[in-house]
Amino acid sequence: MSAEAGHPTAHLDGERINVMKPWVGVEEAHAVAEVIASGWLAQGPRVAEFERAFASAQDVAYGVAVSSCTAALHLALVVAGVQPGDEVVVPSFSFIATANAPRYVGAEPVFADVDPVTGNLTVAGVAQVLGPRTTAVIVVDQGGIPADVEPLAELCAARGIALVEDAACAVGSLYLGRPVGVGADIAAWSFHPRKLLTTGEGGMLTTDRAEWAERARRLRQHSASVSAAERHASLRAPAERYTEIGFNYRMTDVQAAIGLVQLGRLQEMVERRRALAAVYRDALDGVPGLRLVEDPPGGAANFQSLWAEIGDEFPLDRDALLDALAAEGISARPGIMAAHLEPAFSGWPLRVPLTATERLTARTLILPLYHELGEAGVLRVADAVRRASAPVAGHARREVRT
């Protein structure tokens, strides 16, 4: 499949550039058609196959497919044994699902500030807010930038605290040369189209702990003791029991079939994004007051979200830059949200000031980056940013080029 040939106009002046676009095509359509022809539409053999393939790609023993990353985060806290009244340390600087998850189990999210460069939790930031009631930490690989998990894992292990990795954005990102997620007790993934690898909607839990995987597998299907596959395998289905209060968090075979095709392309997707991020980096090099997020020490990002921080030397603030880009048909986005600033968390007590969080959420924007954007598309966005940063110099550049 030639992405460039399929979408040759993405870079043309006047053509709208979106912030993100899933890379899907005829192979996914064929895979879905096969599932429909098979007559097995809900959770079945394709889901089982996707779980095995995904776990193997992530270098972990078990994968449990679910309906979303939000569902995965909820089940992760249940199997980790988080109880009502417990505290769970989370970044506020994340999609709100991270902060909501502890509340689903009656626990309290405690916000830690993030590193001002990577936007991720740090061991020092987490240590500041730990308390006697803390039973879990949710570390996020924000925007696909790998978090520095190793020191956090040591801190958590020493205190008997579960470390959950919200790797929603980070499929294909590496930390210390291995897929992100392996350093945590359990990791949660998203396959929403806003992320890199999509199944439409969908999520996954990965873990090396057999008991946690087994319990999550039951919980996602009402905690039924007999799976749909087992029931189907015999004419006289075995009697089933419902072992605890469960949920319907199942993925469908239709979704898993899409996921299997996408997983086969993961390497290519990540390489392409890293190449396009490098084009951005070159094209925006030296723009005063503009900082592009980079690989952290020990990590290689998938650049699911390539964000830029707008400093004081940039002539426009973040929102004015978004307006300038929109005027050129370019849809960038404000950066990552901060949960503690949302009405859902109004009045929520803060244990430490969230200085880096508030700075990053106010000053960052996410630049368009998707598989089919191409180098020319990146250069068009970069050119628009440059002209916004130095209107006069920008015009001169333009004349030279035409």
Ligand X SMILES: *Cc1c(COP(=O)(O)O)cnc(C)c1O
| Chain residues in the site for ligand X (CB under 6 A) | 68-70, 94-95, 97-98, 140, 166, 168-169, 190, 192, 203
Q: How far is the CB of 72 from ligand X (least distance, A)?
A: 8
DSSP-assigned states of every residue in 181-199: TTTSSEEEEE--TTSSS--
For residue 144, the 8-state DSSP code is G
66 vs 324, beta carbon nearer ligand X: 66
Distance CA 26, CA 18 (A): 22
74 vs 218, beta carbon nearer ligand X: 74
187 vs 261, beta carbon nearer ligand X: 187
Q: How far is the CB of 234 from ligand X (least distance, A)?
A: 34
Q: How far is the CB of 198 from ligand X (least distance, A)?
A: 10
Distance CA 57, CA 142 (A): 20
Q: How far is the CB of 73 from ligand X (least distance, A)?
A: 7
67 vs 135, beta carbon nearer ligand X: 67
Express the helix, strand and coil content of the chain in percent, nearest 5 each.
40, 15, 40
Q: How far is the CB of 142 from ligand X (least distance, A)?
A: 7
Determine the residue type at 53. Answer: A
Angle at which helices 45-57 and 253-264 cross, to 10°: 30
68 vs 134, beta carbon nearer ligand X: 68
* Three-class secondary structure of residue 35 per DSSP: helix
142 vs 389, beta carbon nearer ligand X: 142
Catalytic residue (choose from 46, 195, 318, 340)? 195
Strand 186-190 versus strand 333-334 pairing type: unpaired
Distance CA 127, CA 400 (A): 54
Strand 306-310 versus strand 364-367 pairing type: antiparallel
Q: Each residue of 119-130: b (16+ CB within 10 Å) or e?
A: bbbbbebbeebb
How buried is 16 (Cβ within 10 angstroms: 0-12 exposed, 13-18 middle, 19+ buried)? exposed
Q: How far is the CB of 381 from ligand X (least distance, A)?
A: 22
Distance of CA 8 to the CA centre of its chain: 28
Q: Is 21 an annotated catalytic residue?
A: no
112 vs 382, beta carbon nearer ligand X: 112
The answer to whether 334 touches 362, Cβ cutoff 8 Å, is no
Q: How far is the CB of 289 from ligand X (least distance, A)?
A: 27
- Selection from 257, 163, 260 nearest residue 212 by Cα: 163
Distance CA 227, CA 210 (A): 17
What is the set of active-site residues? Answer: 195
